Amino acid sequence: MRRLDLNLVRVFVAIFETRSVTAAASRLSVAQPSVSYALARLRDAFADRLFARGPAGVLPTALAEQIYARFSQALTSIDSTLEDPQRFDPATSTRRFKVAMSDIGALFFLPLLLPALRAAAPGAELEVIQVDVDQVVGDLSSGKLDAAIGNLPGIRDATHSSKLFVEHYVCLLSQSHPKIGTRLSLDQFLQARHVLVSSPSSGHRLVEDALAERGVTRNVAVRIPHFTVLPQLLAGTDLLVTLPSRIAGVFCAHEALRVIKLPVQIPSFEVRVHWHPRYERLPAHRWFIERITGALQGL
């Protein structure tokens, strides 16, 4: 194991992340036999299969899962060290930038962010990771993430950040809702059947706490883990959902839905981009944060 070189580490990480020897070879711009040979050396070094064939590629063994956590972090640190701290040319860069956001954030942010990145850095890659509030600070600190976007007040003290915009909550419902017209009263809100999105990164806790402080209890009829199913779930039904206004606008553009003002005051919140101060002087990192703020700030 002490004789493992950096190329073997890169091969291992590429196979783990792509779940394919062929895709790993493509990512690394080498021939597939070279990756297969490297995998054989890794298996011999660790006395473990590391990857087994699965229905849609290769699946890591338990040992491979443990190795990846260490190799990935180490590789990120090495790449950051080797990166020229004085130069970054977005026009020729093939760097992979990693950003964490929720599924609801991806619905709104990516259509705006991707064109801005592609226009300036056509060869760069963007990897989006589901934000994990318990790990995001550590991932930013280790370099596993370049940035995190969202309503993340709990990490403000441990990161540097920039405000993108202020958001507020609204109610989303079907255009043909059988009982609610152009206004929503508190009695209607209490009697209605609600959808609760229980994703840990959705901010639903803010809504629940605000309603509880005002003695308001919703009649929750459906609990779902993600926002993406909401348009199909709400259209043509008597269900309501409370969600951020910008996402409600995205859904209204594609489905027979409408937005209505909430009868209960729920505090607005800030959406910010966060990064770790350890990396902010690196030109590539600074450029990425500037692209995010340029595409999303003030929306």
CATH number of the domain enclosing 206: 3.40.190.10
pLDDT of 83:
61
Note whether 41 and 175 are same-domain residues: no
Domain membership of residue 68 (yes or no) is: yes
What's the rounded Cα separation, in Å, for the pair 3 and 282?
Answer: 31
Which amino acid is it at 158? A
Note whether 194 and 259 are same-domain residues: yes
pLDDT of 42:
92
Note whether 162 and 281 are same-domain residues: yes
pLDDT of 151:
92
pLDDT of 1:
52
Please list the rounded mean pLDDT of every run of 10 residues in the chain (299 residues).
76 88 85 92 92 88 89 73 71 92 90 95 92 84 88 91 96 95 94 86 70 88 89 94 93 91 92 90 91 94
Domain membership of residue 14 (yes or no) is: yes
Domain membership of residue 1 (yes or no) is: no
- Contacts (Cβ under 8 Å, ≥6 apart) of 137: 155, 158, 159, 276
Note whether 262 and 285 are same-domain residues: no
Domain membership of residue 202 (yes or no) is: yes
Note whether 230 and 103 are same-domain residues: no
Note whether 58 and 105 are same-domain residues: no
Q: Quote the distance between the C-alpha of residue 58 and its chain's center.
A: 24
Q: Which helix (H) or strand (E) holds 126?
A: strand 125-130
Note whether 129 and 275 are same-domain residues: yes
Domain membership of residue 285 (yes or no) is: yes
Domain membership of residue 88 (yes or no) is: no
Nearest Cα to 194, choosing from 212, 172, 214, 213?
A: 172
State the residue range of the domain holding 32. Answer: 6-82
What's the rounded Cα separation, in Å, for the pair 104 and 157?
Answer: 24
Q: What is the pTM of this model?
A: 0.72
The CA angle 285-287-289, to the nearest 5 degrees, is: 70
Note whether 16 and 52 are same-domain residues: yes
Which of these three, 31, 57, 82, is where a domain ends? 82
CB atoms within 10 A of CB 45: 14
Note whether 77 and 147 are same-domain residues: no
With tokens 């910008």, the residue in question is: 246
pLDDT of 204:
62
pLDDT of 78:
73
Which of these three, 48, 82, 116, is where a domain ends? 82
pLDDT of 109:
95
What's the rounded Cα separation, in Å, for the pair 244 and 170?
Answer: 6
CATH code where residue 66 lies: 1.10.10.10
Nearest Cα to 50, choosing from 7, 11, 78?
A: 11
Which of these three, 82, 112, 140, is where a domain ends? 82
C-beta of residue 15 within 8 angstroms of C-beta of residue 39: yes
What's the rounded Cα separation, in Å, for the pair 101 and 84?
Answer: 28
With tokens 């950040």, the residue in question is: 161
Q: Kindly calculate the radius of gyration of the chain based on its CA atoms and give it in whole angstroms.
A: 23
Note whether 157 and 10 are same-domain residues: no
End-to-end CA distance of the chain: 51
C-beta of residue 172 within 8 angstroms of C-beta of residue 230: yes
pLDDT of 2:
59
Q: Which helix (H) or strand (E) holds 170?
A: strand 169-174
Count structural domains, the chain: 3
Domain membership of residue 253 (yes or no) is: yes
Note whether 277 and 161 are same-domain residues: yes
Phi, psi of 173 (to 5 degrees): -155, 170
Note whether 205 and 259 are same-domain residues: yes
DSSP 157: G
Domain membership of residue 45 (yes or no) is: yes
- Which runs of consecutive H residues, i.e. helices, occur in 159-198? 186-191
Pairing mode of beta strands 147-150, 160-167: unpaired
Which amino acid is it at 75? L
